[in-house]
Every structure is written in C-alpha cells, then in structure tokens.
Amino acid sequence: MSLIAFLGAVESGLIFGLVALGVFLSFRILDFPDLTVDGSFPLGGAVSATLIVSGWDPFLATAIAIVAGAMAGAVTALLNVKLRILHLLASILTMIALYSVNLRIMGRPNVALLMEPTVFSLVEAPGMPSRSWMIPAVLLVVIVLALIAFNLFMASRAGLAMRATGANARMAGAQGVSTAGAIVLGMAMSNGLVALAGALFAQSQGGADVTMGVGVIVVGLASVIGGEAVMPTRTVLLASIACVIGAIMYRLAVALALNADSIGLQAQDLNLITAVLVAVAMVLPGSRASLRRNFRRVLGLGDGNGGGGARP
C-alpha cells in the first residue's frame, strides 16, 4: 500500500468516523435502529454542494447541511413517537423519501464541486503542504471537536436523560424524562453528524451524487461493531472513540483489499470482509449480549428489554 492510499484511507475513515458516531448515538445510546443514514448522508452532500455552486460560503453551506440532516432525523423520530410507526419502518420511510428530496434539491443526479471553493480550500492553496496530509489533518480536528462536544453533551442533564431513555424508556419516563423529546433530539443529532460527514465527503471527493448513500449504514454499523471488538467500551467516552477507530479500521481494510493482490483479496471481497468482521465481533464477549438484543429488536422478536415489565 502506498503512502497516498494509506492517507486516503485515513481521510475516508475520519469522515466515516462522523457517520459511526451518529450510528453509535442512534443504535447504542438510544437503542433505535435507524436506517435514515442512507438518506441523510447524501442529503448533507446535496445541500452543501447545491449551495456552494449557487455561490454560498462553504462553511455556511456545511452548517445548513447539518441542519437539513437534523431535520431528517427529527422526521424519523416524529414518525415513531407521534404516529407510533415502528422505528425501523419509520427510518426506512424517511430514507426512501430522501432519495426524491435529494434529487429535487440538486435538480440533477450529480452536482460537481471540482474547481469550486470548499471548506478545504484554505489548506489546498499553493504553498501549503500536500493535500494528502492536510485534508486528513483538518478532518482530525473536526472529529476531535465532534467527540468533545458529543461527550460534553452526554454528561449533561439532557444527555443523561437521553441515555436513560435508550437504556429503559419506561423507567426514564417514570423519573420524569420526556422520552419523546429525548428521541427526537437524539435522532436529530445523529443525522446531523451523518449529514456533516456527507457534506465533507462531497467537498473532498469532487461532488455530490444521488447514489453516494448506498450502504453507508452498513459501513457505520461495521465501524461501531469493529471498534467495540478492539477497544474497551466501559464508558461513553471510550465507546465513542472506539467507533471512530472502527471507521478508520474499516477504511484501512478497504484499502488493504484494494492493495492486497498478493494475498488474493480483491475489492469485490469487501462485503464479505464486512460480514466476517461483524460476525467475529458478535461472538466476542462484551458485544454479544447487546448485539443479540439489537438484532432481536430489529427482527421483532420481543421488545429487547428482557420483557421485564412491571407487574403489580
């Protein structure tokens, strides 16, 4: 693997680290299986790219992209808490609706950002060190800031209420937590992070494409699970760092698959590697119970809370 390919994998891994953080928030903290991600990632790209080509400031365009993603997450949460639609189905509905929304925003399937100003323009100016180093450096700053903000929030009253909602909604409600409010806020934050990732991806890779959301949720989940497999996850801080590490590991695995012709791996083996990675993580201690609970919920086998309802 060349140095450029390695740095490229780190660059992608840091962007998808934001996706993994969002997926960690929905799946792990809120216990809400959310597939909106496949729509909110390209939404972030579409909004930022469309605004930039219309002459808006790239930083402002990226901020608006985050808001758009947050609104998409809130829509999923409201479908679930207000209309009582099953969480998984609610997220699928938002995801497929976003495909049309993204096409409508862009006006065409692909909006190019080559030769346009982006949030990375400052570090791409002549006289700066190589782009291969500078973009990952900028992204590292972004992800560290995101991690700090995420952990400060999770330690606040609102964050603790959100964690309580995910751990045991009935109990949290009994303690006076507005569980509906916590779910809407959490889903908005989660998809805001994912839309930020989509905006940064579009700006570093030459443009937004309506198909760029395909499989993003799988990458996010694999990153969360992979990170849990190699890192201790005793606290929210460790677990949130772990999913970013997991995202970088995933992208390095892709780069290895692309570059490991010697050991016979090819790019088309990637989905198999992902499946094996997730399967291996499932049989590792520590992640087994929580995974089983999530999968039982996704498959609709019981409520996933052990069924311990309060009985008089």
Partner 1 sequence: MRPLSVIAAACALALGLAPVSQAGAADVKHVAVTQIVEHPALDAAREGVREALAEAGWKVGENLTWTFESAQGSVGTAAQIAKKFVGLQPDVIVAIATPSAQTAVASANGIPVIFSAVTDPVGARLVRSLENPGVPVTGSSDMLPLPLHLAMIRRALPQSKTVGVLYNAGEANSVALVETLKTVAPAQGFTIVESTAPRSSDVLGAARNLVGKVDAIYVPTDNTVISALEAVVKVGIDNKLPVFAGDTASVARGAVAATGFDYHDLGLQTGRMVARVLAGADPRTMPVETIQKTDLYVNPAMAERMGLTLPPDMIADAAKIIE
Classify 191 in phi/psi space as left (phi over 0), alpha (psi -120 to 50) or beta: alpha
Name residues contacting partner 1, limited to 216-255 (CB under 8 A).
216, 219, 229-232, 249, 251-252, 254-255
List all residues 6 or more positions away from 39 whose beta carbon is below 8 Å from its beta carbon: 72, 94, 95, 96, 97, 98, 99, 101, 102, 213
Range list of H helices, the chain: 3-23, 37-53, 58-81, 87-106, 121-124, 131-154, 157-167, 169-174, 179-205, 216-230, 236-259, 270-283, 288-298
- Number of residues counted as binding partner 1 (CB under 8 A): 53
CB-CB neighbours of 293 under 10 Å: 16
Smaller CB separation from partner 1, 152 or 214: 214
Q: Please tell me whether residue 7 binds partner 1 under the rule CB under 8 A.
A: yes
- Choosing from 109, 167, 238, 283, the residue that interacts with partner 1 (CB under 8 A) is 109
List all residues 6 or more positions away from 290 whose beta carbon is below 8 Å from its beta carbon: 28
Residue type, 11: E
Q: Please tell me whether residue 125 binds partner 1 under the rule CB under 8 A.
A: no
Give the largest CA-CA distance in the chain: 73
Residues 10-28 as b/e (b if ≥16 CB within 10 A, e otherwise) read bbbbbbbbbbbbbbbbbbb
What track of x and - describes contact with partner 1 for positions 11 through 40 (by CB under 8 A)?
xx---x------------------------
Q: Please tell me whether residue 290 binds partner 1 under the rule CB under 8 A.
A: no
Q: Please tell me whether residue 297 binds partner 1 under the rule CB under 8 A.
A: no
From the list 83-91, 181-189, 197-205, 291-299, the region that binds partner 1 by CB under 8 A is 197-205
- Choosing from 24, 27, 32, 201, the residue that interacts with partner 1 (CB under 8 A) is 201
Q: Please tell me whether residue 158 binds partner 1 under the rule CB under 8 A.
A: no
Smaller CB separation from partner 1, 181 or 206: 206
- Choosing from 71, 88, 97, 110, the residue that interacts with partner 1 (CB under 8 A) is 110
* Site residues for partner 1 per CB under 8 A: 1-9, 11-12, 16, 103, 107-110, 112-116, 131-132, 201, 204-207, 209, 211-212, 214-216, 219, 229-232, 249, 251-252, 254-256, 258-260, 267-268, 270-271
